[in-house]
Structure 1
Amino acid sequence: MSHGVEHIAGTTMHKRRGELHHGFRYGVDYVLIDPEADQPKPRLFSRNRFNLMAVHDRDHGGAIGAGQGAVWLRRFLAEQGLGGRKLALGLLTQPRFLGYVFNPVSFWLVSENDALIAVIAEVSTPFGDRHSYFCHAEGFAPITPQTRLGTQKALHVSPFQDVAGHYAFGFEITPSQIAISIVFTHGENGVVATLSGPRAPATSLGLLWASFRRPFGALRTITLIYWQALRLRLKGARYRTRPTPPKSEIS
């Protein structure tokens, strides 16, 4: 999976389809870590302690702010019958920036013999809700760039979309790059979202440069979310109130 902390200086794109068109593209910084290993880290990145950028176990694997990290994932994989297999784990996520964290979506990557066999898309909302989608092919066959993994939408993410419809996930995780697509479809409406970027070892210089080029990290992310929501509202998008979140943690 990963040999040391990796920095993905990527691009995310969202394009709304249907009765109201809207789209945007932004640069975004993710890191890819082994959530169970004490990996070589640049001085400006930390695990479970304050730094310019950091990843904390409590931010992932369970309720927001009360996560258990890889322990949660191992327990879930065992429940799926994968407990006796030699699996490598990776966590692809936006790091905390000077202690502030918000991740619209993080990805738990599960590999066996260097082949990706499962992904958990951990979706969090500005409303404080979280739900994860377990993506795998039949029989946990390797996930290829051509594989499309579908699931029903369960979480209220955008106040301008119904909690209905279907997601189709695509994952291309190679030693040199990451490319992820999420296509949401609800009748004639929907959203296409992508995340892509090259994989590179994280360095203090690279993280420092990212903090200048895309300042404030996760705080910038939440600010842009509200900005796009305002733009949609001004375009006349219908606002939906937040429904009760799903009782299940993973679907």
Structure 2
Amino acid sequence: MTLADRLSAGEVLHLPASVSHARRGSLRHAFRFGVDYLLFAPGTMRPPLVMSHNRFNLLSVRDRDHGGPRGAGRGAPWAREALTRAGLTWEPEMVLALLTQPRFLGYWFTPVSFWMVLRGDDLLAVVAEVNNTFGQRHSYLCHHPGFDPIRAPDELDVEKIFHVSPFQDIAGRTHFRFFLTDDRLSIRIRQIDGARGLDAVMSGRLRPLTNRSGLGAALRRPGGGLRVLALIYWHALRLKLKGARYRPVPTPPESEISR
């Protein structure tokens, strides 16, 4: 059974991921922490009791959190329309899936989510939905010409036009690499601006989300997005104490999505 088949049948997959960041340049800073992501097909998912769609629960996902303006998203229809405008011809065996951190007891924040188009075990396109801590969002579309499958060694790059870290310029390019199998997922993001930049990796083993695994994740890493936000601020403070220069928040890009 392919990954697309499993998601189409309603399975929700849990990714207890290891996330690492390493800043390059004259001022270096690195850290690693664990975070819980979920991978599912929004239209067909059949979550366990600890998770709900558009309702309060221990873990939940809400359409308004994704796809379009932050806080007023349209979910999967937005992603489908964006991919259609980019030239994707939808086929019956294609599945649109979302990889994201869920809400934890109603609280939501995630630095990045990924809309993924799967056909069998092939990954055809990705929309990286990036959120900063200033209430802004921008999405980057990654795909090959003709939407050929994205393989593990492939590197897809986009121009960096969105303000994420107040200690980095909006300059250079962002490079994505995706590795996805039926039981493992890894995403590598490299931001390159001359000798400066950032390397970020998220990787882990995919496993079915169950009531037990959902409760276990909540006990091991309580707080969900609130915990991640606290870690972001903690490392921002450490960077400031190291002498990093603060950049004011610019006006976000006019377009919702770029490639």
The answer, yes or no, to whether TM exceeds 0.5 is yes
C-alpha contact (below 8 Å) 1:74/1:83 kept by paired residues: no
Larger deviation, residues 3-12 vs 177-186: 3-12
- Which letter does structure 1 place at the counterpart of 2:146? G
Q: 2:83 aligns with which of 56, 77, 87?
A: 77
Residue aligning to 1:36: 43
Residue aligning to 1:205: 212
- Which letter does structure 2 place at the counterpart of 1:36? G
- Which letter does structure 2 place at the counterpart of 1:52? L
Larger deviation, residues 85-94 vs 53-62: 85-94
Unaligned runs of 5+ residues in structure 2 are none
Residue aligning to 2:177: 170
Residue aligning to 1:18: 25
- Which letter does structure 2 place at the counterpart of 1:62? G
Residue aligning to 1:56: 62
Cα distance in 1 for partners of 2:84, 2:214 equals: 35
Larger deviation, residues 125-134 vs 2-11: 2-11
Unaligned runs of 5+ residues in structure 1 are none
Cα distance in 1 for partners of 2:107, 2:228 equals: 11
Percent identity (aligned): 52
C-alpha contact (below 8 Å) 1:119/1:134 kept by paired residues: yes
TM-score by length of 2: 0.94
Count residues with an aligned counterpart: 250
Residue aligning to 1:118: 125
C-alpha contact (below 8 Å) 1:15/1:22 kept by paired residues: yes
Cα distance in 2 for partners of 1:176, 1:20 equals: 37
Q: 1:240 aligns with which of 231, 234, 247?
A: 247
Residue aligning to 2:193: 186
- SS of corresponding position for 2:88: coil
- SS of corresponding position for 1:75: helix
Q: Supply the RMSD in Å over aligned alpha carbons.
A: 1.0
Cα distance in 2 for partners of 1:12, 1:146 equals: 20
Deviation at 1:85, TM superposition (A): 3.0
Cα distance in 2 for partners of 1:153, 1:61 equals: 19
Would the alpha carbon gap of residues 113 and 5 (structure 1) be closer, same or farther in structure 2, given more than 3 Å must change? closer
- SS of corresponding position for 1:62: coil
Q: 2:73 aligns with which of 64, 67, 70?
A: 67
C-alpha contact (below 8 Å) 1:159/1:239 kept by paired residues: yes
- SS of corresponding position for 2:49: coil
Deviation at 1:112, TM superposition (A): 2.7
- Listed one character per residue, the Cα deviations across residues 62-92 of structure 1 (whole Å, up to 9, x for unaligned) are 1111010110011112212224433211100
Residue aligning to 2:112: 105
TM-score by length of 1: 0.97
- SS of corresponding position for 1:211: helix
- Which letter does structure 2 place at the counterpart of 1:73? A
- SS of corresponding position for 1:226: helix
Residue aligning to 2:146: 139
Structure 1 residue 9 corresponds to structure 2 residue 16: yes
Deviation at 1:113, TM superposition (A): 4.2
Cα distance in 2 for partners of 1:121, 1:82 equals: 16
- Which letter does structure 2 place at the counterpart of 1:81? G
Cα distance in 2 for partners of 1:67, 1:165 equals: 28
